[in-house]
């Protein structure tokens, strides 16, 4: 069966983001560090940021990108919406909390600035100095791995962190919906899409395993909520008289992925890679995306390739 790819777009919006590289002794401790540093960062609706893995680098990852200490590494991104009033401060607070409370105590972990961010012309956070206060005046600036880093004595030895971490304008809210005849098919399609995104530098998929099963709409019947379940696409509400269901016949499950990235080109490229990876899953009936007719953001990520080419440089 040929899957329908709707001629529509994901309505993304501008973000402020920062990236950092974690290295560790081996993949086991690297993953512990990643899980801690990017945890509880699925949605800016209630989280302090949206965070995820851009790509693994060094041994066991993208070996065209060598880590400063020659160990396994991973590049992570944190995003906050650009429409947040105190976005610069909010992003720094999220970064500081996650590095100081998740990476500093993680055995064998180190924290590096990414090569692209090392120009002093970019706006940056003085993260290393702030984390280094944990050293209680025993911290020092030292030469490590061919660069000047903050070195903090710890019970395990020392924690090393670069001095500056640049922040950038980016894109949040790229998304794809996978509608299928079974839960297994919908989830498999989403998993394949997430795996494809991991091969595309510059993007992250922030939900657990990269997949969201609870896609939301703006607003709620409860006045104290500004987002709630997307009832028009809930299979169990298809026959509810209070819901104008938009689910195609035969669809029993829909899964969503969110794609945030360094720019619209990166998010658009990942979107096309995700569609290509998922479209042949048996039982998948439709691939579409969420949008709000331009009310949320102006960064439109089209699903059809010709539209993608038209909009990728916007």
Domain with CATH 3.30.70.520 in the chain: 4-10+171-311, 16-168
Measure Cα distances from 46 to 40, 50, 102, 217, 225 in Å. Answer: 9, 10, 19, 15, 11
CA dist 23 and 192 (Å) reads 26
Q: Does CATH place domain 4-10+171-311 in 3.20.20.60?
A: no
Q: Residue-wise over 39-69: b if at least 16 C-beta within 10 A, else e? A: eebbbbeeebbbbbbbbbbbeebbeebebbb
Task: Residue 268: name the closest of 205, 174, 170 by CA.
Answer: 174
What is the rounded CA–CA span in Å between residue 270 and residue 3? 19
* CATH of the domain spanning 16-168: 3.30.70.520
Q: Give the tokens for residue 162.
A: 């670069």
Q: What is the pLDDT tens value at each position of the chain, 314 positions in all?
A: 689 999 999 999 999 999 999 999 999 999 999 999 999 999 999 999 999 999 999 999 999 999 999 999 999 999 999 999 999 999 999 999 999 999 999 999 999 999 877 777 889 999 999 999 999 999 999 999 999 999 999 999 999 999 999 999 999 999 999 999 999 999 999 999 999 999 999 999 999 999 999 999 988 999 999 899 999 999 999 999 999 999 999 999 999 999 999 999 999 999 999 999 999 999 999 999 998 766 677 899 999 977 755 544 44
Length of the chain: 314
């Amino acid at each position: 069966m040929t899957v329908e790819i709707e001629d529509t777009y994901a309505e993304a919006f501008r973000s402020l983001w920062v990236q950092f590289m974690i290295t560790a002794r081996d993949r086991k401790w690297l993953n512990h560090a990643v899980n801690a540093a990017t945890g509880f960062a699925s949605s800016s609706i209630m989280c302090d940021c949206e965070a995820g893995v851009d790509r693994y680098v060094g041994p066991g990852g993208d070996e065209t990108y060598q880590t400063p200490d020659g160990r396994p590494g991973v590049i992570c991104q944190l995003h906050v919406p650009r429409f947040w009033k105190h976005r610069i401060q909010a992003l720094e607070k999220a970064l500081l909390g996650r590095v100081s409370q998740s990476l500093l105590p993680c055995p064998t972990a180190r924290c590096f600035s990414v090569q692209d961010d090392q120009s002093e012309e970019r706006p940056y956070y003085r993260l290393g100095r702030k984390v280094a206060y944990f050293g209680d005046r025993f911290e020092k600036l030292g030469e490590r791995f061919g660069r000047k880093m903050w070195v903090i004595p710890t019970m395990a030895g020392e924690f090393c962190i670069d001095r500056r971490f640049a922040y950038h304008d980016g894109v949040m809210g790229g998304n794809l919906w996978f509608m299928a005849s079974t839960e297994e098919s919908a989830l498999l399609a989403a998993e394949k899409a997430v795996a494809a995104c991991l091969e595309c530098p510059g993007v992250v998929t922030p939900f657990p395993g990269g997949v969201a099963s609870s896609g939301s709409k703006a607003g709620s019947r409860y006045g104290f909520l500004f987002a709630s379940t997307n009832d028009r696409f809930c299979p169990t509400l298809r026959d509810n008289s209070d819901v104008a269901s938009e689910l195609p016949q035969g669809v029993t499950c829909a899964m969503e992925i969110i794609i945030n990235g360094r720019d619209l080109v990166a998010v658009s490229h990942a979107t096309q890679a995700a569609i290509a990876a998922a479209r042949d899953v048996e039982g998948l009936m439709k691939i579409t995306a969420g949008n709000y007719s331009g009310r949320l953001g102006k960064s439109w990520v089209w699903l059809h390739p010709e539209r993608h080419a038209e909009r990728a440089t916007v």
